[in-house]
């Protein structure tokens, strides 16, 4: 466990400064965003920690919090993909992918219907859906921009607009699954993910922690696969496009 105190605060400030400085010197274009993200994370985690302690006893409050998480995730992915109001279509892959798996785990009895269990599992799965949606949407749109001539050629050959777009952008968008695939393939060898470590620190046995982490990782693969497929479909149908 980390020791909370002045050293922790100094360490966080130093790490943030290093990340921002490297991004700035390397001309990555995200120096300021790193600082903003770190500050937001600190404030939001502090607020959420207090909020969760107050709502975990109520299933209705837990459900409302999960809805808020979905809304924030959809807004974040939508801005990444379209940069405007039409980005709310990103809610479709995020909600369909994550909440269907959460509901399945609840119905199967693998996750108890208690706020203290539902919120972290839902948060992990919604976060995975958000990341996959953002990556798939950005990759699909970038591919369409760079290979517009191929789309036009496919249309000239008689393909429908949806099919022409899918032909070009689907393989690129599928790369959004690579982070989840790599994490699952290397779990225990390279990475020890949060659910596993958290359960060990909470007093669970290694076997129980490993099984829980396996369920989370496989659940993430299902969530992100659904999210990527739906994102590509929305791009192909013109629902997710850059705002003029």
Domains of the chain: total: 2
For residue 242, being part of any structural domain is answered with no
pLDDT band at 170 (very low <50, low <70, confident <90, very high): confident
pLDDT digits (tens, 9 = 90+) for 130-169: 999 999 999 989 888 888 888 788 888 888 888 888 888 8
Residues 197, 90 within the same domain: yes
Give the separation between CA 214 and CA 109, rounded to whole angstroms. 16
User: 1 and 111 share a domain?
Assistant: no
Residue 30 pLDDT grade (very low, low, confident, very high; cuts 50, 70, 90): confident
With respect to residue 241, please indicate whether it lies within any of the assigned structural domains: no
**Same domain as 7, residue 113:** no
Q: Are residues 62 and 49 in the same domain?
A: no
CB 66 within 8 A of CB 125: no
Domain check: are 130 and 76 in the same one?
Answer: yes
pTM score, whole prediction: 0.81
Two tokens at 233? 């479909």
Asked if residue 36 is part of any domain, the answer here is yes
**Residue range of the domain that includes 36:** 1-55
Mean pLDDT check: name the lowest of 64-73, 75-84, 126-135.
75-84
Q: How many Å apart are CA 134 and CA 91, to the nearest integer? A: 11
* Residue 244 domain-assigned (yes or no): no
């Amino acid at each position: 466990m980390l020791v909370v105190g002045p050293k922790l605060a100094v360490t966080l400030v130093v790490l943030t400064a290093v990340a921002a400085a490297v991004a700035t010197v390397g001309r990555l274009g995200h120096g300021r965003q790193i600082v903003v993200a770190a500050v937001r994370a600190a404030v939001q985690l502090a607020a959420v920690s207090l909020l969760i302690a107050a709502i975990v006893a109520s299933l209705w409050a837990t459900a409302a919090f999960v809805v808020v998480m979905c809304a924030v995730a959809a807004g974040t992915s939508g801005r990444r993909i379209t940069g405007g109001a039409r980005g709310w279509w990103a809610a479709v892959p995020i909600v369909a992918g994550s909440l269907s798996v959460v509901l399945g785990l609840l119905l199967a009895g693998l996750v108890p219907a208690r706020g203290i269990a539902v919120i972290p599992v839902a948060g992990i799965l919604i976060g995975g859906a958000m990341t996959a949606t953002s990556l798939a949407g950005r990759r699909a749109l970038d591919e369409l921009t760079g290979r517009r001539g191929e789309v036009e050629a496919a249309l000239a050959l008689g393909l429908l607009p949806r099919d022409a777009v899918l032909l070009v952008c689907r393989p690129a968008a599928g790369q959004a699954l690579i982070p989840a695939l790599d994490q699952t393939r290397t779990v225990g060898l390279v990475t020890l993910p949060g659910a596993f470590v958290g359960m060990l620190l909470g007093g669970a046995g290694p076997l129980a922690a490993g099984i829980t982490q396996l369920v989370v990782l496989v659940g993430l693969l299902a969530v992100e696969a659904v999210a990527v497929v739906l994102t590509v479909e929305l791009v192909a149908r013109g629902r997710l496009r850059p705002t003029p």
